[in-house]
Amino acid sequence: MAKTFGDAERHILSFFNVGATFTYADVGYTVTKSGKPTCSKGEPKTDIYIAAEDIHHNIAEFKISFKKQNADFLENKTNAERAEQLFGSDWENIISNATTALHDEFLSRMLIYKEKLGRTDRGAITLGWKFELLNVKSGQLSGNMQLTQNQIIDVYAGTNLKGDKRDATVNGEQIPFSGVANYILFENTPVNSTQEAINSLISIEDYVDSHPDVYFACKALNYRTFREKYDGNRPLAVYVDWSAKNGKLGYKIQFDTPLKQGGDYAYERLKTAMDLLGVKTTDDLDDSNVEDPNKIHE
């Protein structure tokens, strides 16, 4: 059976017990400390922390972001706080510019699904679209973030992390900047020793030099009317502002408040409009009470 991410991570960490030796950049090291960094909420960028000492008593830190083979996701639960950490004070404009570049693609989406379409269930109504960062393009609502090299390094390393995401805890000890990664290790081939793990490390700067693009993808958050459920208050990069107008369900797609509104807000707007119109599911919606019938898939 294939190893889970946690199993694979622990497998790598097992090679770095205190006293283990290895050579990096022609310098011999002995491990003095190792463990998995943790924080009070969420996760730091570093998955495996190693401190090692050379013969001159110089300490080197190897703060490793571990990736399973063919890992595409860089950030799959992006919220406003995380976006500011990644992109700086101009994060709202950066995300708005990215999504607005796909304006026509968003406007072409079906929003009301009386019948199943692809992975979208029958009875779904779209509340908006979540925001994810990837190292490959994914789907029609996806594009290049057009980031600077430093911004891309921030994405991979977590340079702008704050609090205990930055100064994470390793084996009960809080270590400054332990949560900010400086190496990436991809599990592309089996790793069977300490030295093989070290030989597989890529500095984040070198990785960004050879992979200079970061992509975003927007994935729909839908209200499933037959189940009366949606997948929580996820921040939305673009949301659908539903309303009742002249006895019909109307909408406006909002691009200018990225990650400021979530699933709860969009759902309340939709539910209020549906209640005013006296409808409960997509079975109750048709050309007579939907302002733009072209948004209905049936």
Q: Which of 37-46, 89-98, 208-217, 276-285 has the highest mean pLDDT?
A: 276-285
Strands 261-262 and 235-236: antiparallel
Domain boundary among 181, 210, 239: 210
Could you tell me the residue range of the domain that residue 206 belongs to? 5-68+148-210
Domain boundary among 164, 180, 210: 210
Together in a domain, 197 and 235: no
Confidence of residue 1 (pLDDT cuts 50, 70, 90): very low
Residues 152-157 have a mean pLDDT of: 90
Confidence of residue 99 (pLDDT cuts 50, 70, 90): very high
Q: Is 89's pLDDT higher than 70?
A: yes
Q: For position 5, what pLDDT does the model report?
A: 74
| Signed CA dihedral, 198, 200, 201, 202: sign only | positive
Per the structure, the count of domains in the chain is: 2
CB 266 within 8 A of CB 128: yes
Together in a domain, 87 and 62: no
Together in a domain, 206 and 220: no
Strands 124-134 and 112-113: antiparallel
CB 60 within 8 A of CB 35: no
Nearest to 42 by CA among 187, 145, 209, 162: 162
Domain boundary among 210, 230, 247: 210
pTM of the model: 0.84
* CB atoms near residue 217 (< 10 Å): 22
Q: For position 272, what pLDDT does the model report?
A: 98
Nearest to 281 by CA among 112, 155, 150: 112
Together in a domain, 197 and 293: no
**How far is Cα 254 from Cα 252, in angstroms, rounded to an integer?**
6
Structure confidence by residue, pLDDT tens digits, 219-272: 999 999 999 999 999 999 999 999 999 999 999 999 999 999 999 999 999 999
Q: For position 3, what pLDDT does the model report?
A: 60
**How far is Cα 283 from Cα 285, in angstroms, rounded to an integer?**
6
SS3 43: coil
Together in a domain, 183 and 250: no
Together in a domain, 129 and 50: no
The set of long-range contacts for 53-56, using a CB threshold of 8 Å and a minimum separation of 24, is 53/29, 54/27, 54/28, 54/29, 54/30, 55/28
CB 101 within 8 A of CB 143: yes
Together in a domain, 138 and 221: yes
Together in a domain, 140 and 153: no
Q: At what angle do helices 80-87 and 91-100 cross, to 10 degrees?
A: 100
> Residue 18's Cα: distance from chain center in Å?
33
- Least trusted range by pLDDT, from 64-78, 197-211, 265-279: 64-78
Of residues 78 and 114, more confidence is placed in 114
Together in a domain, 229 and 290: yes
Q: Is 26's pLDDT higher than 60?
A: yes
Together in a domain, 39 and 156: yes
Indicate the length of the chain as a whole number.
298
Residues 143-149 have a mean pLDDT of: 91
